[in-house]
Amino acid sequence: MRWVPGRLYDKCVELLNGADIQFRRSARLDVCLCLNLPIALVFLPASDIPSFVGKGSVDLGITGHDVILESQMSPYTTELLKLGFGKCSLQVQVPVNSGINDVEGLSGKRVVTSFEVLAADYFRGVDAKVREAKKVNGEVNGEVEGGETKIEYVGGSVEAACALGLADGIVDLVESGDTMRAAGLHAIATVLTTEAVLIKSSTPKHPDLLPLIDLIVGRIKGTLAAAQYVLCEYNIRREVLAEAEKITPGRRAPTVTQLEENGWVAVSAMVEKKKIAQVMDELVKVGAEDIFCIKLENCRV
C-alpha cells in the first residue's frame, strides 16, 4: 500500500526546499534520489520513521517526538533538532457529561488509544497511585485488588470510541481541540507535549557518511534560524550605543560600524522575528533612527 502524505509532509518539504535539498518525486514512488546531493529521500508514515532510523536503515529522519516514544526507539535514536512544527499534546479525554474530572476517576475503566505504549505507561502510574490511596484509606484489604485500567488500541478515529460505547475515555493528540470538542469530549490530563524533530541513528551504520549528515543537519539548522530571525539595522549616536546594544545583543554580539557623520554609528544585529516590533519600539525610545529589518533568506549558525 502506498503511503499517503500526512500532517507533517508539507512542512517537511518546505524545510527540504529551504535547505536546497532538491528532489523530484514521481507520483507512485516513496523513494527518490536527491538531484544535487548524493542522498536518497524516503517518504514513510511518521510512526515507521523511528524504527527505520533507529535500526540504521535510514540515516536521518523527521517525525514527531510522540511517535519516537511510542515506538520505544528513543534509546536507538538521537534527537538533533526541534523543528517548530507538528506541535500538539497527547491528552486524556472523557465525555463532557461523564462526571469524570480527573485521571484517578478513569483508573480501572476502559481507555481507547492509538498510543497504547504511552497510555499504558501513564495509567500504570495512575493506577498505582489510586491503589496506594485506597490502601491508606483502608478500602483495600491485604493484597492490592482491581484498579487496572484497560488500554485498547485503535488505529484512527479514536475520538468516536466513547460515543460508540467502546471506552470510558481516550488518549489522543490535540492540536486546536476542534476534534475533541466536536466529539463532546474534554481533556482531563496531558500525557506529553510534542513537536516534529530531526533524528539520527544513535548507532549509525555508515560512519563514512557522517560529514554528509553534518552538512545536511547544518543546512536544516540554518533554514530554521533564517525563519526564526531577522537582521535589524539602525543608526544611533555613540553615547547611547550601550543602551541600544542591550536591546539588540545579537546572537553573539552586534556589528557596529562608524558612520561618516561624526558621533554616529550603524548597528546590525540578529533579532528573533517574534520580538522585532517590540525591539524597534524600544530602539526608537533610546534614540535610534533609520531602523529597518531584513528578512533572512538563509544562514549558517
Ligand X SMILES: O=P(O)(O)OC[C@H]1O[C@H](OP(=O)(O)OP(=O)(O)O)[C@H](O)[C@@H]1O
The footprint of ligand ATP (CB under 6 A) covers 6-9, 45-47, 64, 66-67, 86, 88, 173, 175, 194
Q: Residues 152 to 211: which contact ligand X by CB under 6 A?
A: 156-159, 172-180
Q: What, of ligand ATP, ligand X, none, does residue 159 touch, CB below 5 to 8 Å by kind?
A: ligand X
Give the nearer residue to ligand ATP in terms of CB position, either 25 or 295: 25
Separation of alpha carbons 201 and 217, rounded Å? 13
Which residues, including other chains, have CB under 8 Å from residue 1's CB and lie 6 or more apart? none
Q: How far is the CB of 42 from ligand ATP (least distance, A)?
A: 12
Which residues, including other chains, have CB under 8 Å from residue 294's CB and lie 6 or more apart? 230, 231, 232, 233
Residue 278 CB neighbour total at 10 angstroms: 12
Separation of alpha carbons 74 and 126, rounded Å? 23
Binding-residue total with ligand X (CB under 6 A) = 14
Separation of alpha carbons 291 and 235, rounded Å? 7
Q: How far is the CB of 88 from ligand X (least distance, A)?
A: 7
Q: What, of ligand X, ligand ATP, none, does residue 64 touch, CB below 5 to 8 Å by kind?
A: ligand ATP
Considering the rule CB under 6 A, would residue 11 count as an interface residue with ligand X? Answer: no
Q: What, of ligand X, ligand ATP, none, does residue 172 touch, CB below 5 to 8 Å by kind?
A: ligand X
Nearest Cα to Cα of residue 16 among 219, 295, 226: 219
Q: How far is the CB of 69 from ligand ATP (least distance, A)?
A: 10
Q: What, of ligand X, ligand ATP, none, does residue 178 touch, CB below 5 to 8 Å by kind?
A: ligand X
Give the nearer residue to ligand ATP in terms of CB position, either 13 or 299: 13
Separation of alpha carbons 11 and 50, rounded Å? 18
